[in-house]
Amino acid sequence: MTKVLELHNITKRFGALTANDDVTLTLDQGEILALLGENGAGKTTLMNILFGHYAADEGTVRVFGQDLPPGLPRAAIAAGVGMVHQHFTLAGNLTVLENVMLGSEPLTRLKSARGEAKRKLMAIADRFGLPVKPEAKISSLSVGERQRVEILKALYRDARVLILDEPTAVLARPEAMRLFETLRDMTKEGLSLIFISHKLHEVMAASDRVAVLRGGKMVAERRTRETTPGELAELMVGRKVERPVRHDHQIGAPVLVADKVRVEDGGETRLDDVSFTVHAGEILGIVGVSGNGQAALGALLSGLAHPASGTLTLADQDVGHLGPRGMIRAGAGRVPEDRHAEGVVGELSLWENAVLERLRTPEFSRRGFVRQGAAKAYTNDLIKRFDIRGAAPDTRIRLLSGGNMQKLILGRVLSNGPRFVLANQPTRGLDEGAIAAVHAELLAARAEGAAILLISEELEEAVALSDRIQAIVKGRLSEPISADEADPQRLGLMMAGVWTEDDHAA
Amino acid sequence: MRLERRAHVPLHLVILAPLAAVFAALLLAAGLIAAAEVNPLTAYGEMLRGALGSRLSITEMLTRATPLIFTGLAAAVAFRARLWNIGGEGQFFVGALVTAWIGHSLGVPGWIGVPLLMLAGMAAGAALLAGPAFLRLRFGVDEVVTTLLLNFIVILFVGLMIEGPLRDPLAFGWPSSVPVDGDFRLPDLVPRTRLHIGLLFAIAAAGAVWLVLARTVFGAETRAAGLNASAAAFAGISLPRTIMGVALLSGALAGLAGSVEVMGVTAGVTTTMSPGFGYAGIVVAMLAALHPAGVVAAAVFVATVFVGADAMSRATGVPSFIADVIVALCLLTMLVALLFTTYRVRR
Ligand SMILES: Nc1ncnc2c1ncn2[C@@H]1O[C@H](COP(=O)(O)OP(=O)(O)O)[C@@H](O)[C@H]1O
Ligand SMILES: [Mg+2]
């Protein structure tokens, strides 16, 4: 039987960097193959070569036994390859139907061919179990729905091989699970699939076979049934990684106390009657489905939002009215939710980002002039102490991987000896090795007596790191439970807003 | 064909981009010159000779370059912080007008009066840009529109003043303001030419601006706020404060251009004293890739075009408006060139 897809000895270089190094990969009919690898392993590059976005420096691509000419997306589409990109490529101001037709029909035909196209789209949607509203504007759809449109767009062009680049990066856990069920059904309709991921649990749950890329090389291939998450993690990272574990120790005095805080934004209540206490040497985990007030809580503790009523005290000082600089002076360290949007200025160097929060302190400036020598020496220290790879103080920070960027942000927070640390989704989008490193740093800060508030959507993470856990639902907090009492059912109920009266008593 | 963002922009590209842009602009303008039935090579030869051919023409070119350095710096400072100050022309004129008005009857010695008048011109330019900056910060009003429209208002206001209260009675019907007192005329740099020590001030200003942008806390905060406002806000850098600081600095530089031009060249203010120094400053800043050292070089180039075009026009009959065409084309070609330095074209 011929393979659906064969990549032979693909090599792709970007300047001095070899993004793909002699990679060979095949796909069978009706199979789901997971392409697993850390950020920067070369997964996207490999799939872009397959799809014709890039031309390989060496190697060949064959689809259904036919050689594909390099660098021609049209040829790949014609051969039946469809791709759903990591970043969506839909036009927000057009409807679902128009987006699907775009690119397969000449623009002038968009109107005339509508009826026919709509019938075809609905037939496909039906056959593959992907319900859509063809006349809805893209901008009105959720990310999950947009992704469905991306998939339909590929299927509309008669794709028989579908590639999905990190399809779950933008999805919540239940949506992701639903997506994988759909993908499984699609194989029964004759499709063959490759999905890219760096998350072990979804690879284990949803694939038939796993190919592991590391540093541009294909390091292993396994039947999913015959491997374990532990083995895959080791293959992916290249060494044994284990997330560090929390040890019980003496919890200290209260450091950060919120008492009946309400936060409003544009006339709407974002946090309502929120009370919690974080003690020295303690990690308090806040779990919840995203969009339930985590952003407002993060803003409050960063100094970007202020209580409309209630009080926020840090080491007995009222800090509710303080801005970011005031919070830092009061002893707060802040890890923002979105590294790229709030954590760093991508076009600036590492050293400028490292001292950004403390530019006006005597440590890093004198008489209005930046003390560059001191700033660079400090950054060098951070690079060593927090194991930031692939960078010097003068490197532009956007060239760092997510994990290394996060290590710099953590470093600038923790090196300051903070009394309180806000860690808002500290491992979102990071790979296994980086997650373990971030966890280790947070636990080390806890051991040194910092009071840490962890906001996380990853339950495993919250349970592993936290001493106590509270759930956030529609801007309100549940009573805390101790991490030992936290099992998935109980947390699930808490996150759904069900917490009982005797919890209040506890 | 796709555009890929470059990880690094190599230095040679940074330097090559404006040269390529200038070359392309000259090539395009050559088409127009040819359409006027003149050999473009002859025309450009006349242009070079007119601007650089003699000691006198060189000093004349540098006299033109002086205000362009100031207005170029003004635009560069603002654009780096994403404050789109298109009002350099208006700020130039208020700086000039205030200088002539105060300088006409100020009773202090020259060595006190000159710095004082420069400060007054700077304050006037800064105040003029503070308004649009405030409107943007408070109400989100687009400063491109407000600063551009203010140019016309200011020039009409200057016209009003020099026809009325500030009219120079000795100007024999030429609409001109009263001149600054002779004590406040800037000394010549080269005797018996119009070139004055304002050129040195301009070069010093470029150095000072570089120092502020590259080495101070204010410069670092401005860069951060211009590149990623929400990350800067998260770090506690106040966006309104940096934008306002930048506006004051930018407006002051453009106002200084007017002040120095009055004290160095024209003595009084006329509505025709600027051949578009404020607007040309935008081109200068772009050609300089917003770098202060580049501003000096780009100002010299634009001044060469301006001065040379007059000579070319006399020798060949091509209208001297070609200078404006070349300068405007430079802006467009530079934008294209910048695209190719930040991105790489791939198949
Ligand atoms: N267009 C490009 N130019 C230069 N380097 C690139 C380009 N695209 C990707 N790279 C580099 O190639 C490597 C692999 O990237 P990628 O395929 O996106 O990894 P992954 O999808 O596995 O995270 C990374 O080091 C990345 O920085
Ligand atoms: Mg990728």
What are the structure tokens assigned to A92, written together?
């927000």
Q: Which residues pair with A472 in a beta bridge?
A: A477
CATH number, domain containing residue B234: 1.10.3470
pLDDT at A329 over 70: yes
Does residue B271 contact residue B158 with C-beta atoms inside 8 Å? yes
Task: Write the pLDDT tens digit of every residue in A415-465.
Answer: 989 999 999 999 988 888 889 999 999 999 999 999 999 999 888 899 999
Third-level CATH fold of A254-340+418-505: Rossmann fold (3.40.50)
Give the Cα separation of A198 and A71 in Å (integer). 26
- Which helix (H) or strand (E) is A365 found in, with range? strand A365-366
CA nearest to B213 within chain A: A369
Task: Give the residue extent of every domain in chain A.
Answer: 3-237, 254-340+418-505
How many CA atoms lie less than 13 Å away from A215 in the CB half-sphere?
4
pLDDT at A500 over 60: no
N- to C-terminal Cα distance for chain B? 4
Q: How confident is the model at residue A406 (pLDDT cuts 50, 70, 90)?
A: very high
pLDDT (0 to 100) of residue B3: 67
pLDDT (0 to 100) of residue A505: 41
Mean pLDDT score of chain A, rounded to an integer? 89
Task: Write the pLDDT tens digit of every residue in B191-200.
Answer: 889 999 999 9
State whether residue B208 sits within 8 Å of chain A by CB. no
Q: What is the mean pLDDT of residues A255-273?
A: 93
Give the Cα separation of B296 and B205 in Å (integer). 10
pLDDT (0 to 100) of residue A479: 92
Contact B234 A346 (CB under 8 A): no
Does residue A255 contact residue A316 with C-beta atoms inside 8 Å? no
pTM: 0.78
Q: Which atom of ligand 1 is nearest to the CA of A37?
A: 22
Does residue A51 contact residue A73 with C-beta atoms inside 8 Å? yes
pLDDT at A24 over 60: yes
Q: Using CB atoms within 10 Å of the CB of residue B160, give its burial: 0 to 12 exposed, 13 to 18 middle, 19+ buried.
A: exposed
Q: Of the candidates A71, A325, A348, which has its C-beta nearest B236's C-beta?
A: A325
Q: What is the mean pLDDT of residues A206-218?
A: 94
Contact B228 A347 (CB under 8 A): yes
DSSP B250: H
pLDDT (0 to 100) of residue A506: 40
Give the Cα separation of B269 and B179 in Å (integer). 7
Of A441, A374, A436, the residue nearest A410 (C-alpha): A441
Q: How confident is the model at residue B2 (pLDDT cuts 50, 70, 90)?
A: low
Which of A45, A49, A85, A401, when mutated, tests ligand 1's pocket best, judged by the most ligand atoms within 8 Å of its CB?
A: A45
Question: Which residue's CA is the closest to the ligand 1 atom numbered 9?
Answer: A45
Of A338, A272, A324, the residue nearest A475 (C-alpha): A272
For chains A and B, CB pairs below 8 A equal: 73
What ligand has the least distance to the C-alpha of A46? 1
Contact B234 A343 (CB under 8 A): yes
Residue whose tokens read 């779950």: A168
Q: Which residues pair with A221 in a beta bridge?
A: A211
**A198 C-alpha to ligand 1 centroid (Å):** 15
The strand pair at A58-63 and A66-67 is best described as antiparallel
**A48 C-alpha to ligand 2 centroid (Å):** 10
Contact A323 B215 (CB under 8 A): no
Q: How many domains, chain B?
A: 1
pLDDT (0 to 100) of residue A106: 65
Best of A53, A304, A356 to mutate (most B CBs within 10 Å, chain B): A356
Of B5, B26, B75, the residue nearest B312 (C-alpha): B26
Does residue A138 contact residue A149 with C-beta atoms inside 8 Å? yes
Third-level CATH fold of A3-237: Rossmann fold (3.40.50)
Can you give the residue range of the structural domain that contains B185? 2-346
pLDDT (0 to 100) of residue A110: 58
Q: Which atom of ligand 1 is nearest to the CA of A20?
A: 14
Does residue B243 contact residue B81 with C-beta atoms inside 8 Å? yes
Q: What is the mean pLDDT of residues B19-29?
A: 93
Q: What is the mean pLDDT of residues A64-92?
A: 86
- Distance (Å) of CA B239 to CA A335, A352, A409, B125, B228: 20, 17, 21, 21, 10
What is the distance of C-alpha A395 from the center of its chain? 24
Q: What is the mean pLDDT of residues A456-475?
A: 92
- How close does chain A come to B111, measured CA to CA in Å? 28
pLDDT (0 to 100) of residue B347: 54
Give the Cα separation of B128 and B147 in Å (integer). 9
Best of B217, B237, B341 to mutate (most A CBs within 10 Å, chain A): B217
Higher pLDDT residue, A74 or A302? A302
pLDDT (0 to 100) of residue A233: 87
Q: Do you know the residue count of chain B?
A: 347
What are the structure tokens assigned to B45, written together?
């030869």
Q: What angle do CA A182, A218, A241 make, to 5 degrees?
A: 85
DSSP B182: G
Q: How confident is the model at residue A245 (pLDDT cuts 50, 70, 90)?
A: confident
Contact A304 B232 (CB under 8 A): no
Of B65, B66, B98, B81, the residue nearest B250 (C-alpha): B81
**Chain A residues whose beta carbon lies within 8 Å of the beta carbon of residue B219:** 370
Q: How confident is the model at residue A109 (pLDDT cuts 50, 70, 90)?
A: low
Q: What is the mean pLDDT of residues A110-128?
A: 83
Higher pLDDT residue, A39 or A352? A352
What is B63-118 written as a DSSP string? Answer: HHHHHHHHHHHHHHHHHHTT-----HHHHHHHHHHHHHHHHHS--S-HHHHHHHHH
What is the distance of C-alpha A153 from the center of its chain? 25
Contact B224 A352 (CB under 8 A): yes
Q: What angle do CA B339, B340, B345 make, to 5 degrees?
A: 115
State whether residue B169 sits within 8 Å of chain A by CB. no
Q: Classify each residue of A115-150 as buried b or exposed e, where b means 16 or more C-beta atoms within 10 Å of its C-beta.
A: eebbebbeebbeebebebebeeebeebeeebbbbbb
pLDDT at A89 over 90: no
Task: Write the pLDDT tens digit of every residue in B160-180.
Answer: 999 888 888 887 777 899 999
- Distance (Å) of CA A504 to CA A33, A480, A491: 48, 9, 15
pLDDT (0 to 100) of residue B94: 98
Task: Write the pLDDT tens digit of every residue in A363-403.
Answer: 999 999 999 999 999 999 999 999 898 889 999 998 888 88
Helix, strand, or coil (residue A283): strand
Contact B236 A324 (CB under 8 A): yes
Give the Cα separation of A308 and A269 in Å (integer). 9
pLDDT at A68 over 60: yes
N- to C-terminal Cα distance for chain A? 64
pLDDT at A86 over 80: no
Mean pLDDT score of chain B, rounded to an integer? 92
Which of B2, B3, B4, when mutated, tests ligand 1's pocket best, judged by the most ligand atoms within 8 Å of its CB?
A: B4
pLDDT (0 to 100) of residue A1: 60
**Chain A residues whose beta carbon lies within 8 Å of the beta carbon of residue B231:** 341-345, 356
pLDDT (0 to 100) of residue A501: 46
- Ligand 1 pocket: which residues have CB below 6 Å? A 14, 17, 19, 37, 39-45; B 4, 7
pLDDT (0 to 100) of residue B317: 87
pLDDT (0 to 100) of residue A261: 96
pLDDT at A179 over 80: yes
pLDDT (0 to 100) of residue B235: 96
Alpha helix (H) residue ranges in B228-276: 229-234, 239-261
How many CA atoms lie less than 13 Å away from A163 in the CB half-sphere?
24
What are the structure tokens assigned to A482, written together?
């101790």
**Separate counts of helices (H) and strands (E) for chain B:** 13, 2
Q: How confident is the model at residue A111 (pLDDT cuts 50, 70, 90)?
A: low
pLDDT at B92 over 50: yes
Give the Cα separation of A278 and A253 in Å (integer). 9
Least confident of A9-23, A238-252, B277-291: A238-252
Amino acid at A110: L
Q: Using CB atoms within 10 Å of the CB of residue A193, give its burial: 0 to 12 exposed, 13 to 18 middle, 19+ buried.
A: buried
DSSP B171: S
**Chain B residues whose beta carbon lies within 8 Å of the beta carbon of residue A366:** none
Provide the 10 A C-beta neighbour count for residue B144. Answer: 15
What is B268-323 written as a DSSP string? Answer: S--TTS-SSHHHHHHHHHHHTTT-HHHHHHHHHHHHHHHHHHHHHHHHH---TTHH
- Distance (Å) of CA B196 to CA B60, B77, B258, B310: 10, 25, 14, 21
pLDDT (0 to 100) of residue A504: 47
Best of A13, A57, A359, A412 to mutate (most B CBs within 10 Å, chain B): A359
